Amino acid sequence: MFPLRFHVEQNRNYANNLIVMECWRSHHGNVLNHAPATMCSDLDSAANSATPDLTIPVDAPFIEEVVAAIRKLKNARAPAGPDGIQPELLKYAETPVSSALHALFI
């Protein structure tokens, strides 16, 4: 997908930057602009008839719990989600990542 060989062969930085930006624009356009999910009546009916499990805590995690979860991630593994973020990247940016993830739960 990414025409790396073309970039190496071409000596014009300006042209290379334009090509790289176009490749990224195309990539993000494909990843972020997808068709909406189809409605599933089975899931809706199951959600409506579900009863809450009172043994599972529903309060927000402490920041220390988020940091501990990030530290438990194993290195050199395939990305777990559709975002493609490697576990090592989350560990290297532990403080900002843990703060951002913690804010999602508050």
Q: Domain map of the chain by residue range?
A: 1-34, 54-105
Contact indicator for 83, 59 with CB cutoff of 8 Å: no
CA gap 89, 87 in Å, rounded: 5
Reading the chain (106 residues) residue by residue, the pLDDT tens digits are 444 444 444 445 556 778 888 888 888 888 888 787 788 889 889 989 989 888 988 888 999 999 999 999 888 776 666 788 888 888 999 999 999 999 988 8
Residues in the chain: 106
Q: CA 95, 96, 102: angle at the middle one, nearest 5?
A: 90
CA gap 66, 94 in Å, rounded: 10
CA gap 100, 103 in Å, rounded: 5
* pTM listed for this prediction: 0.46
CA gap 94, 69 in Å, rounded: 10
